[in-house]
Amino acid sequence: MKKAYLFIHAILLTIALNAQTGLKFDGIDDYLNFAGASVFNITDSITVEAKVKISGDISDWMPIASNYEEDANQIYNGYWLGTDDIGYVTWFIGNGSVLQDGYYLYSNDSLNDGFWHHLSGVFNGDSAWLYIDGVLDTAAQLPSASMVSSTDFTIGTDFDGLFYNGTIDDVRIWQTARNSNNIFEYKDSCLVGNETKLVAHYNFEAGTGTLITTDLTSGNNNGTLTNMNASSSWVSGVNCFASTVGINSERIKNQTNIYPNPTQDIINIELKSMEDATIKVYNVLGELIHQLDNINKKTIQLELNGAVGLYLIKISSQGETQHFKLLKR
C-alpha cells in the first residue's frame, strides 16, 4: 500500500492517497467469485458503487457488479450495474412479474473514453437513480421491481455469461439508498469498512502476488480472482482521499459559494464579508496548483487546467480555515 501525506500547518489538512491498484478484466473469462455470500442478496434498499475505466473494445454488454438472474419462469430478478454494447452505463433492476423484462436506467453519455469514472446505482424499493461521477444522471420510478435473486453476486461477469473488459476499482455495496449528497461527498474518500449500512467494500489494494481481494467490512466476504493472473491482473488504480482532519470554520463555510461544481475548467469562488482571505487549490497528488493571498474581492475566478478528477480548495481568513471538495469533469 502506498500513501503520500501533505501536512498544511499543524492541524489543518491531511491528504492520503490510497487505492494505488485496481483489477484489469480481459472481457473473455475474468471475474471475481464470492462463493455465494448471502450479504449481497439485498431485497429492499441498495446502493452499488464502483470506479471503472473501459478499455475501448466493446462488443457486448459488460457487467461490473451483478446478482441478476432469469428464473425458471423466465422472470428477471436482482440487480445489475454495467455498460451496454456501446458504452452507456446501465443500472438494471428485475421486474419480478413480466416475462424477460426489467427496468433499465441508461446514462446520457457513453463512458468509453479511457478515463476513470465513478458509477453509482441506487434503489429504495420503488424508485431508482443512476449517478455518474457523483452527479445524478437518470432517475425513474419502478412500480413492480424485484430484487429477490438466488444467483451468486459477481464482479466482472453475470448470469448470462457476459464479461467486463476494462479496469475496476473501489467497489462498495450498501444496504441503503444513499442520497446525492453522500454519494458526491464520499465517492473519492477512503472508507475504512465500518461505515453505517456498508455491507461490502473492495478497494483492491492487495496488489500483485495474490488471487484474493479483501472485503474491508467485518463481513469478511473476500473475493477470489477467477481465470485471472496474480501478477498481471493487478494494475494502476485510482486514488482516494483520506478524511480531512483539523479545525474547520463554519463562518467561512457559510460565507463561501463555489460554482459550478462539478466544473469543466472555470470556477467562481464567491466570498461574502471576508477580509484578507487566502485561497489554495490542490490536485489529487497534493500539489499546490493555485494560491491567492490577501483577497478582499467578493468573487474570484480561477481556471483549472489540470486533469479531470477531485480537487481540494482551502480558504483561510482571520485565523480560520475551511476545506471544500471540487470535481472537474
Q: What is the pLDDT of residue 305?
A: 86
What does the mean pLDDT of the chain come to?
Answer: 88
Phi/psi at 248 (5° precision): -105, 155
Cα end-to-end distance, the chain, whole Å: 27
189 and 104, same structural domain?
Answer: yes
User: Among 206, 241, 276, where does a domain finish?
Assistant: 241
The confidence band for 18, taking pLDDT boundaries of 50, 70 and 90, is low
The predicted model gives 223-248 an average pLDDT of: 82
Task: For residues 87 and 224, state if they share a domain.
Answer: yes
Where a domain ends, among 241, 269, 296?
Answer: 241
- Quick check: 77 pLDDT over 50? yes
Average pLDDT over residues 293-304: 91
d(CA 190, CA 192): 7
Per-residue pLDDT, averaged over 43-59, amounts to 91
The predicted model gives 222-247 an average pLDDT of 83
Look at the chain and report how many structural domains it folds into: 2
Q: CA 191 to CA 201: how far, in whole Å?
A: 8
Q: Do 285 and 233 belong to one domain?
A: no
Q: Which three cell numbers stand for residue 308?
A: 479531470
**Host domain of residue 86:** 17-241
2 within some domain: no
